[in-house]
Amino acid sequence: MTNPLYHALFAHHEGSSRVFLHLADGSMTSYADFLAMADRTANALGALGVAPGDRVAVHVEKSPQALALYAACIKAGVVFLPLNTAYTAKELDYFVGDSGAALFVCDPSEAEAMGPIAAAAGAQLKTLASDGRGTLTDLVADQPDHFAAVARDGDDLAALLYTSGTTGRSKGAMLTQTNLLSNAQALVDCWRFTRDDVLLHALPIFHSHGLFVATNVTLLAGGSLIFLPKFDLETVLRLLPRATTMMGVPTFYTRLLDDARFDAALSAHMRLFVSGSAPLLAETHKAFEARTGHRILERYGMTETSMNTSNPYDGDRRAGTVGLPLPGVEARVCDPETRAELAPGEIGMLHVRGPNVFKGYWQMPEKTREELQADGWFITGDLARIDTDGYITIVGRGKDLIISGGYNIYPKEIEMFLDDQPGVKESAVVGAPHPDFGESVIAVLVPEPGETLDLSAIEAAASEDLAGFKRPRHVVVMEALPRNTMGKVQKADLRAQFAAVFQPKAS
Ligand code: MLC
Ligand code: AMP
């Protein structure tokens, strides 16, 4: 009987009085207390009839209890399905239904709205608030402190993470115990994590970066987390002196650099800053080094693969590159059409293979076959170049995708929504450089002949249906979209036309 992921991440902390979580208010949670909470939560899952292999959909704010639910799912062999807190009821309806979740845990404030969604999917509904209260917690409180780990194979699912797609329909990436464990092991090694590390954790825990990278790495190494509800500049500046490491999306680093209080003295004791989820501009890398003396370590990953490449801990952290493949991970650049491997220095589609690569898309065998080849190579959708010394540079995207503040936005999904709005004949959605979010969303709308669009009604509908981070930040009405002779919309033209929309105006 074994459960490799539970054993590697959690079992060695059982009974340990060492601190695992430092909260913003100064309170702390020991490993022993955290694991007792996880065991009670696992018993609560059992009491609800949630069985190994079942999915638990989780739409809650970041809290120690929410993290304990993750640990409980791993221990109980239940598939953890975290959902972005920004998702609207309409978006959640799809995820809960598609995953066939046995249990849906949501914030108490949304319980009424989520009732019909859970009922339609045949899921039980429980609540958990950011302060740890809720109907799930009430049930957890009555449970015994011990739960025996459920046996799992490395190939069993540990988590299901939805990622949007170019067709507009989200796909559930199935991540196994081995996927998560092999990646955490590689990162602990490469980034030299130890039990002395204190990681400033301001990322959400519903995505790969905050959950599988920052949290799993810390658990495996036995360090602790300064566990913040979100990235709040004042809190980060206040608590940074207590940390040894930090992980973030590029927006974290540009926001820090925008504040003069962030200087060499404040980060003198830090050993590592890691960036990922979106391109870190070389100029940010350089400005960071000039201000603090630290060279940010940039790595590259995806929901489907966790982390693939990293700049080296020792050696050249090359600005503008994502470094070298992690141990056990292979990377190659191929012709997007023929899939023939290209020579070093040539730009093409990046493929990766290794124990980190997911098992496939939930109940989408065809989609899985399109992107995950039978020989294990996964087609990332990112355009890259591999230099002769092995360094990889992501030069663009072969997929139509906007990354805003580390969140992925697929234009197709927004276009499908906009095309359905009254008076809209067609639409095109493109990204443009944004000083805070890296990129942000522009919508171009074409009205039906003779129609005048009610933009405020469209905006109101968007706030009902689309998560806030996906909503267009700039809307333009045009008589027609630019098309080539084949009739294909020329998004590159639109991107060029609106490239400066979010840039600060010269005074
Ligand atoms: C929030 N808002 C955003 C946004 N985040 N808009 C665009 N892009 C974003 N990323 C909007 C909200 O809808 C709201 O709009 C307003 O900003 C204020 O919300 P907030 O929650 O107070 O925002 P803020 O705290 O400023 O959040 C920005 C952020 C956050 C960058 C700190 O988005 C964040 O933590 N991003 C990290 C994402 C992440 O973890 N990605 C990893 C994916 S895994 P309004 O209109 O309602 O006022 C992955 C694999 C890998 O990619 O390689 O790691
Ligand atoms: P997600 O689907 O949210 O996991 O996002 C994965 C995508 O984020 C990748 O396919 C890349 O396009 C992008 N990404 C992640 N890390 C980096 C990075 N360091 N540089 C450039 N793009 C990145």
DSSP character string of 158-177: EEEEEE--TTS--EEEEEEH
Residues 12 and 139 grouped into a single domain:
yes
| Eight-class DSSP state of 469 | G
What is the DSSP pairing of strand 245-248 with strand 402-404?
unpaired
Q: Residue of the nearest CA to atom 48 in ligand 1?
A: 468
204 lines ligand 1 (CB under 6 A): yes
Please check whether residue 178 lies inside any domain of the structure.
no
| CATH number of the domain to which 458 belongs | 3.30.300.30
Question: In the chain, how many domains are there?
Answer: 3
Query: Are 291 and 142 in a shared domain?
Result: no
Q: Which residues line ligand 2 (CB under 6 A)?
A: 163, 208, 276-279, 298, 300-303, 322, 380-382, 394, 397, 403, 408
Mutate to test the pocket of ligand 1, among 407, 408, 414, 475 (most ligand atoms within 8 A of CB): 407
CB 76 within 8 A of CB 147: yes
Instruction: Assess if residue 461 is contained within a domain.
Output: yes
Domain match, 81 and 55 both = yes
Tell me the best of 251, 307, 441, 465 to mutate to test the pocket of ligand 1, counting ligand atoms within 8 Å of each CB and taking the most: 251
Domain with residue 293: its CATH number is 3.40.50.12780
Ligand nearest to the CA of 214: 1
Q: Which of 377, 400, 423 is the last residue of a domain?
A: 400
Same domain, residue pair 208 and 321: yes
pTM for this predicted structure: 0.97
Identify the pLDDT of residue 1: 58
Q: Which of 168, 206, 188 has the alpha carbon at shortest distance from 67?
A: 206
Looking at the CA of 309, name the nearest ligand. Answer: 2
Tokens of 20: 């695992």
Residue 185: inside a domain, yes or no? Answer: no
Last residue of a domain, one of 133, 152, 171: 152
Q: Which atom of ligand 2 is nearest to the CA of 322?
A: 19
CATH classification at residue 109: 3.40.50.980
Same domain? 216 vs 350 = yes
Question: Closest-lying ligand to the alpha carbon of 306?
Answer: 1
Give the count of beta carbons closer than 10 Å to the beta carbon of residue 478: 15
- Return d(Cα 22, Cα 138) in angstroms, integer: 24
CA 406 / ligand 2 centre spacing (Å) = 8
Give yes or no: residues 277 and 249 share one domain. Answer: yes
Instruction: Please tell me the residue having the least CA distance from ligand 2 atom 15.
Output: 277
Residues 413 and 365 in one domain: no
Q: Which of 114, 133, 152 is the last residue of a domain?
A: 152
Pair (418, 460) in one structural domain: yes
Same domain, 10 and 148: yes
Non-local CB neighbours of 6 within 8 Å, separated by 6+ positions: 74, 75, 149, 152
Do residues 237 and 366 share a domain? yes
Q: Which residue reads 């926001």 in tokens? A: 255
Beta-carbon neighbour count of residue 16 at 10 Å?
16
Domain that includes residue 68, residue range: 4-16+31-152
Q: Is residue 184 part of a domain?
A: no
182 in any annotated domain: no
Same-domain status, 381 and 446: no
**What pLDDT score does 437 carry?**
98
Return per-residue pLDDT of the chain as tens, 507 residues: 599 999 999 999 999 999 999 999 999 999 999 999 999 999 999 999 999 999 999 999 999 999 999 999 999 999 999 999 999 999 999 999 999 999 999 999 999 999 999 999 999 999 999 999 999 999 999 999 999 999 999 999 999 999 987 777 899 999 999 999 999 999 999 999 999 999 999 999 999 999 999 999 999 999 999 999 999 999 999 999 999 999 999 999 999 999 999 999 999 999 999 999 999 999 999 999 999 999 999 999 999 999 999 999 999 999 999 999 999 999 999 999 999 999 999 999 999 999 999 999 999 999 999 999 999 999 999 999 999 999 999 999 998 999 999 999 999 999 999 999 999 999 999 999 999 999 999 999 999 999 999 999 999 999 999 999 999 999 999 999 999 999 999 999 999 999 999 998 876
Looking only at the bridges linking them, the beta strands covering 19-23 and 28-30 are antiparallel
- 324 lies in the same domain as 411: no
Kindly report the three-state secondary structure assignment for every residue of 234-289.
HHHHHHHHHCCEEEECHHHHHHHHCCCCCCCCCCCCCCEEEECCCCCCHHHHHHHH
